[in-house]
Structure 1
Amino acid sequence: MKLTSLAVALGTTAALLSAAPAAQAGAAPRTLHAAPHGSGSACSLGHPCSLQDARDAARTVRGRDVRVELADGTYTMNGPLELGPADSGRDGHTVTWAAAPGAEPVLSGGRALTGWAGNPDGTWTAEAPENITPRQLFVDGVRAVRARGDSCPAAVCDATQEGMTGARATGIAHWARPTDAEAVIRVRWRAYHCRITGVSGDVMTFAQPCWANSASGTDRTGPAWDTTTVDSPRYSEVSFFENARELLDEPGEFVWDSGARTVTYLPRAGENMRRARTVTPVTENLLTLDGVHDVRVTGIGFAYAAYRQPSTDDGYAGTQAGLTLTGATGPADHAGRHYTKPAAALTVRGGRRVVVDHAAFTRLGGAGVVFEHGTQDSTLARSRFTDLSSGAAYIGDTEPLPTAELTGARNTVSHNTIRRTGVEYTDSVGIWAGYEAETVIDHNTLDDLPYSGISVGWGWNQPEARNSALRDNRITDNRITDVMRVAYDQHDGGAVYTQGAQPGTVISGNYINRSAYGNTERDGNGIYLDEQSSHIAVTRNVITRVGYKWVSNWADYGVDNHATGNWTDTAAPALAGTGSTMTGNRTGLDLLPAEALQVASAAGAGGRGDVEQLRPDLARTATVTQSSTDGTATAARATDGDTTTDTRTLAEPGAWWQADLGTVRRVGQIEVWNNSSMTTADFDVRLATQADFSDATTVHVTGRALRPTVLTTDTEARFVRIELTGTGRVALSHVLVHP
């Protein structure tokens, strides 16, 4: 019988809220009342108390459930509300922290910035209070952007273990305060944010240990073959430098001046800085539950929590999925044991039977929720996450063989809505789970994310990942759309991503649409069984519009994986690895059948959802030719439904690939998919009813084709030709012609 996280969540909640033992069944719950400005110890509806006083009062209750109701309003947090073992439910009872009926309480780590003064150039400036270092700014609830410049290619900004060139070419050598600025670098799946500490001639140096931890040679990052450090061959550019007054040129940007202790902001159209509410996150953790059991948190909002580490000398040396390498020293480690999770608004450590539901996490400088240090039998359900600098939920830890007490097990993440997370730290994921056992990630909706959607497992191809605590996890019935967004330039991930051998793990019933769609490289996947992923069943998923493979494994050391009964619009090579199989999959579809539509519609947090139906492809039945052929890379490889096989012509003037549709048809849209190793660039797409193209309609594409480049044509044509405007090769992996 299928186990879903909904059943687990309901079962867990029912257990928490069940009646007390028979001898105490008649005891009514004790209700305590808290308010933003409550005081005293009465904790009554007429005389509410503070959160801390309510906690202390709840500790004295025996023999019944306790309910702490929070009145409407914003609770300004100077530090976290800390709940420990003494705040747990006792003798089969539950302690519930809940919104009062009709209330929307919000725990806030933000502080308002006031006293804005206008400047002649249209910017506005305010002083920041002592001990506040604004890293994020929200104006009337809308996130501002730290002032940023253009990218700087490696030929100019050459990164080494010691620092980087390019100070003169970028103008940084002449900035008033270059040591307030940071370099933001993205290399494959990693992201780095390191502050400049000095400029000498053309050379910049950066905060330590941030830079050392971002470069090669530490022997503390894994795996050993990794080539994604800032000084590696994979490094191609600084994505941008940020936080300099000289870069403040776009409405909605701001800059922090640490010397003057001021924030300067360039308003967007319609913003009135005399009346606007401007908030910066200050308090890092808002609620911590450490060693608690039988506690429920429901209906509470969390906003404006900070994440301080990136502004320190540790900076943000990203390793994967929003975890970072910190500290100047540490043990040699290629399995990621000693990486640091992002700060979260709500953290559960070593919890048992904890439920967080109907919560809202928004406008955060870090992550939403962390369950760690052996949290078990706990649930995160029916909550909303939006506009977070890092990921939404981090479940579990990075130790592959923890003790039973410290093993994350039987946790549930279900029916949550996650949108626009990873805004600042673009290597983070929506939901991350480390070395977890029997964890269920079910019926969540994830949308508009810069990198992977759901990531389960850890350890790469290290010995620790081959025989760890990982087992029996379920990633089921999730809706994952518009992830691995091309604009953020993070690569080598997937809508669902796994690592490590995890016997009994199932990935089923998920709807994945637009993962790395429009990518520049051939590495964005639907379901990615990476790095020793083994013993995983991939069943009945609907996977459409992905930038590379619908199901992928990186190498053949992942064994005993089985993909069965899935639906997809593309094709992929068979899974490598001993004992792995692909059976009964419907691939290369240009129309989703009714059963697939039903599965896709049922996925996600909101019940029946919309499904983006596929568009018929006229090219697959066309007669295809090309101007010449390089070896076996024939024209038909662009219509075989497999985006991993390529056409290729010889290098010649005006090289072309062509499809004859057989008759004049309405052509509404064309998708041109690149061959990433030999990309077609600067070409015309020509559509004509005549074979000599005497009546051709031409659309020119400047630069490289993407995966895909999508062109709206809306014309009548029989012949579709992709033709270079200069000398070179036409090299394509896929061409789709839609009516």
Structure 2
Amino acid sequence: MRRRFPVLAATVVSVLALGTSAAPPVAAAPPGPRVLHAAPHGSGDACSAARPCSPTGARDAARTIDGRDIRVELADGTYEVTEPLELGAADSGRGGHTVTWTAAPGADPVLSGGRAIGGWARNADGTWTAAVPDGVTPRQLFVDGRRAVRARGAACPAATCDATTAGMTGAEATGIARWHRPTGAEAVIKVRWRTYRCRIAGVRGDDITFARPCWTNASSGTNRTGPAWDSTTVDSARYHGVAFFENARELLDEPGEFVWDAEDRTVTYLPRAGENPRHARVLTPATERLMVLDGAHDLRVEGITFAHAAYRQPATDEGYAGTQAGLTLTGTTGPVDHAGRHYTKPAAALTVRGGRHVAVDRAGFTHLGGAGVVLEAGTKDSTVSRSRFTDLSSGAVYVGDTEPKPDPVLAGERNSVAYNTIRHTGVEYTDAVGIWAGYEAELSVDHNTLEDLPYSGISVGWGWNQPEARDSVLRDNRITANRVTDVMRVEHDQHDGGAIYTQGAQPGTVVTGNYINRSAYGNTERDGNGIYLDEQSSHIRVEGNVLTRLGYKWVSNWADYGIQNHATGNWTDTDAPALAGTGSTMADNRTGLDRLPAEALAVAERAGARPQRAEQLRTDLARHGTATQSSTDGTAPAAYALDGDTTTDTRTRAEPGAWWQVDLGGVRRVRQVEVWNDASTTTGDFAVQLSRTADFADAGTRHVSGKALRPTLVEFGGGQEARFVRIRLTGTGRVGLAHVLVHP
């Protein structure tokens, strides 16, 4: 035994020695990110915290660094951008690394394209005037961070302002013939979903002509204005007049309005109460694009605010010949293309062209003359997330392009727009949408909050009914868990849209888990759908959404060429006709609700950029009542107002004092009555009466003047005891109702 121990010991030592010699060397930790510092007035070349660079200096310094991540940290303050900060392939992450442009810890850097306007002088009429720097054309003015409004006048009906391909009449009646400088003014025209803004070129007698190509592109006859069936040009039958003329000194009559005079190069402002332009910070957007990423990859933009970027095209002779969703028709000639291939997107504060793995995160976009972000020209695998968009003249995010079958390098794929907050956009160009996507594949639009928008909220797809839209790159898009509220705002007069809107065949596309509330709420006509599967929309699944308080259908798929669309398991307080097209189905949807069940509330409250309470529906006492009316016109019985479907209507014959009423089945306390009009036979000048007895001897009455809305809300204060609710005509015509709800 003794002779064995040394052998064993030697063996152990040998093994240990072998293990020691075979162990790999410990790898050195990879270097941390190289941090470069930039400041608003930085001019150093070290890009250190002590000697920061300008943003362009930091960009140039970053190009010399290899083998590690790079962080360009922007110090607090406003960076006055006179030309775009351009980043391309040379400014991208290399070798698996990332370049990040970000706010320094605790900082709030703002890239601003604004120019200050000072030297204000007070005029005798209470207005103030200042000279404008050369090269600046003020379309927007911000006074201490508050948007001013270009001076505007009243509407001019088509009978007076009769539009043709040559121009329009109405110079005498509107007073334009007597304006000092009418050629500085614009006509703002809204025809269904389109908005037009064209500058006056001349006035002769009662006739007004407009700058071209704007007026040419706004009129019929070019073969370039959209689908051949389209009838929404300024000279079409759907034109109902000028919404308003704007930017004339003679129109400056409301506090908060301003006028730009291009000949004198001055701006004149009528202050709001408490404002003094001489002591205020007055800015106008001047630089059009603040940051352009062209061919960049593996690059992040984080925590930076973009403000006061301009959008120059509408101030030129191109004007703003709107087509849909904020895109415009430009140029004097071009290929005949009814599918809209050649339309122009609005200028954006941040533009990404041909990007790969580009991320925009926790950014801010505010006080802009155009759009927020554009991802285009084949951008792939890129994201816009957790960012804030507010007070934008145009839309917030534009993704993709209008070519249905682009070359693979130009195809938009696997992009994402998620957890953003979009409020109060489309301020000036009211046909713009919150989030727009053209011909995209595998796009994710997820958990965004969109509210207070003039037209549609989210729009995915393009091409209308043209053959190109039937077989394009559109596929596998996901519109999920978004919160879309208070869109299609009726005061902006934009029609035929929806909270979520699609076009084109999109195999594999899903619309699910979204909460939609108040689309076109309070309109006078049927408009403002919840989920609108419009032209050519096909192969789309609509599932598990919550949709309430809508001006029209909760889901709309009216066209026969929309195929294989399926709506399943949704919750809504109204109803809609069956989906059109081959193979489309509706199943297991909970419609006509007057209370949202707990599972629907849970879906609604999870939707959006952050958890938020949903609007619970109010109990409807009339839902199971008995409806009668004074007479019936055709096949429009009284019960249609109680069927939970705002697309079916009651209708009386035209007779003095015509009425509709519901017996609640017992005396109940009534606090509010909702009256939803029949849009084709709008009830006007009526009384809502509550009574305990059928003879209405003790009726409490509320009078409503003018047209009923969708809905008109009639309040009864603390409530009134009633069994019978009657809507009685006090004017002329007939009673026509789509829906009546009675709330305790």
Matched, 1:192 2:196: yes
TM-score by length of 2: 0.95
Instruction: For 1:210 and 1:573, locate their aligned partners in 2 and report how far apart those are by CA, in whole Å.
Output: 39
- Match of 1:53, SS state, is helix
Report what 2:163 is aligned to.
Answer: 159
- Match of 1:521, SS state, is coil
- Of 660-669 and 493-502, more deviation after overlay is shown by 660-669
Instruction: Identify unmatched segments of 5+ residues in structure 1.
Output: 1-21
Which amino acid is 1:618 matched to? L
1:272 offset after TM fit, Å?
2.1
Instruction: For 2:711 and 2:231, locate their aligned partners in 1 and report how far apart those are by CA, in whole Å.
Output: 27
Instruction: For 1:85 and 1:235, locate their aligned partners in 2 and report how far apart those are by CA, in whole Å.
Output: 48
Matched, 1:467 2:471: yes
- Of 330-339 and 689-698, more deviation after overlay is shown by 689-698
Instruction: For 2:485 and 2:275, locate their aligned partners in 1 and report how far apart those are by CA, in whole Å.
Output: 32
Report what 1:726 is aligned to.
Answer: 731
- Match of 1:289, SS state, is strand
Instruction: Identify unmatched segments of 5+ residues in structure 2.
Output: 1-25
- 2:300 touches 2:358 (CA, 8 Å); kept in 1? yes
- 2:218 touches 2:225 (CA, 8 Å); kept in 1? no
Report what 2:309 is aligned to.
Answer: 305
- 1:157 touches 1:165 (CA, 8 Å); kept in 2? yes
Instruction: For 1:554 and 1:340, locate their aligned partners in 2 and report how far apart those are by CA, in whole Å.
Output: 28
Instruction: For 2:701 and 2:321, locate their aligned partners in 1 and report how far apart those are by CA, in whole Å.
Output: 46
Report what 1:627 is aligned to.
Answer: 630
Report what 2:21 is aligned to.
Answer: none
Match of 2:548 among 544, 549, 562: 544
- Match of 1:621, SS state, is coil
1:734 offset after TM fit, Å?
0.9
Match of 2:369 among 365, 372, 393: 365
1:227 offset after TM fit, Å?
0.8
Which amino acid is 1:508 matched to? T
Summarize the alignment of residues 677-716 of structure 1 with structure 2, pairs less than 5 Å apart.
Answer: 677-714=680-717, 715-716=719-720
Which amino acid is 2:128 matched to? W
Matched, 1:78 2:82: yes
1:729 offset after TM fit, Å?
1.4
Which amino acid is 2:35 matched to? T
Which amino acid is 1:64 matched to? R
- Of 549-558 and 492-501, more deviation after overlay is shown by 549-558
- Match of 1:421, SS state, is coil
Instruction: For 1:245 and 1:568, locate their aligned partners in 2 and report how far apart those are by CA, in whole Å.
Output: 49
Match of 1:613 among 604, 612, 616: 616
Which amino acid is 1:208 matched to? R
Match of 1:492 among 491, 496, 521: 496
Report what 1:4 is aligned to.
Answer: none
Report what 1:12 is aligned to.
Answer: none
Summarize the alignment of residues 203-222 of structure 1 with structure 2, pairs less than 5 Å apart.
Answer: 203-222=207-226
Instruction: For 2:578 and 2:602, locate their aligned partners in 1 and report how far apart those are by CA, in whole Å.
Output: 26
Report what 2:413 is aligned to.
Answer: 409
Q: Deviations over 1:498-541 (max 9, x none)?
A: 00000000000000000111112212100000001000000100
Instruction: For 1:330 and 1:496, locate their aligned partners in 2 and report how far apart those are by CA, in whole Å.
Output: 31
Instruction: For 1:243 and 1:668, locate their aligned partners in 2 and report how far apart those are by CA, in whole Å.
Output: 46
- 1:222 touches 1:333 (CA, 8 Å); kept in 2? yes
1:666 offset after TM fit, Å?
1.5
Q: Deviations over 1:553-604 (max 9, x none)?
A: 1312100000010000001111111110111100000000000000000000
Report what 1:55 is aligned to.
Answer: 59
Which amino acid is 1:653 matched to? P
Instruction: For 2:380 and 2:47, locate their aligned partners in 1 and report how far apart those are by CA, in whole Å.
Output: 31
Which amino acid is 1:736 matched to? L
Instruction: For 2:27 and 2:76, locate their aligned partners in 1 and report how far apart those are by CA, in whole Å.
Output: 36
Which amino acid is 2:412 matched to? G
Matched, 1:341 2:352: no
- Match of 2:283, SS state, is strand
Instruction: For 2:161 and 2:743, locate their aligned partners in 1 and report how far apart those are by CA, in whole Å.
Output: 43
Matched, 1:327 2:352: no
Matched, 1:284 2:288: yes
Match of 1:34 among 35, 38, 41: 38
1:673 offset after TM fit, Å?
1.1
- Of 283-292 and 28-37, more deviation after overlay is shown by 28-37
Report what 1:116 is aligned to.
Answer: 120
Match of 2:657 among 654, 659, 663: 654
TM-score by length of 1: 0.96
Matched, 1:137 2:141: yes
- Match of 1:274, SS state, is helix
Matched, 1:599 2:608: no
Matched, 1:571 2:551: no
Matched, 1:583 2:579: no
- Of 429-438 and 119-128, more deviation after overlay is shown by 119-128
Summarize the alignment of residues 631-650 of structure 1 with structure 2, pairs less than 5 Å apart.
Answer: 631-650=634-653
Instruction: For 2:88 and 2:28, locate their aligned partners in 1 and report how far apart those are by CA, in whole Å.
Output: 25
How much identity, in percent, do the aligned residues show? 76
- 1:24 touches 1:63 (CA, 8 Å); kept in 2? no
Matched, 1:147 2:158: no
Matched, 1:243 2:244: no
- Match of 1:544, SS state, is strand
Which amino acid is 1:658 matched to? Q
Report what 2:563 is aligned to.
Answer: 559
Instruction: For 1:31 and 1:100, locate their aligned partners in 2 and report how far apart those are by CA, in whole Å.
Output: 10
1:25 offset after TM fit, Å?
5.5
Matched, 1:352 2:356: yes
- Of 701-710 and 170-179, more deviation after overlay is shown by 701-710
- 2:148 touches 2:257 (CA, 8 Å); kept in 1? yes
- 2:684 touches 2:731 (CA, 8 Å); kept in 1? no
Report what 1:13 is aligned to.
Answer: none
Instruction: For 1:732 and 1:372, locate their aligned partners in 2 and report how far apart those are by CA, in whole Å.
Output: 46
1:114 offset after TM fit, Å?
0.2
Report what 2:5 is aligned to.
Answer: none
1:24 offset after TM fit, Å?
8.3
- 2:506 touches 2:537 (CA, 8 Å); kept in 1? yes
Instruction: For 2:566 and 2:352, locate their aligned partners in 1 and report how far apart those are by CA, in whole Å.
Output: 34
Matched, 1:735 2:740: yes
Report what 2:6 is aligned to.
Answer: none
Instruction: For 1:171 and 1:684, locate their aligned partners in 2 and report how far apart those are by CA, in whole Å.
Output: 40
Report what 1:663 is aligned to.
Answer: 666
Match of 2:181 among 177, 183, 188: 177
Instruction: For 1:220 and 1:554, locate their aligned partners in 2 and report how far apart those are by CA, in whole Å.
Output: 25
- Match of 1:728, SS state, is coil
Report what 2:72 is aligned to.
Answer: 68
Structure 1 runs of 4+ aligned residues shifted over 6 Å read none
Instruction: For 1:197 and 1:707, locate their aligned partners in 2 and report how far apart those are by CA, in whole Å.
Output: 40
Instruction: For 1:683 and 1:45, locate their aligned partners in 2 and report how far apart those are by CA, in whole Å.
Output: 71
1:357 offset after TM fit, Å?
0.2
1:726 offset after TM fit, Å?
3.0
Instruction: For 2:525 and 2:28, locate their aligned partners in 1 and report how far apart those are by CA, in whole Å.
Output: 64
1:42 offset after TM fit, Å?
1.1
Instruction: For 2:691 and 2:158, locate their aligned partners in 1 and report how far apart those are by CA, in whole Å.
Output: 43
1:165 offset after TM fit, Å?
0.8
- Of 379-388 and 617-626, more deviation after overlay is shown by 617-626
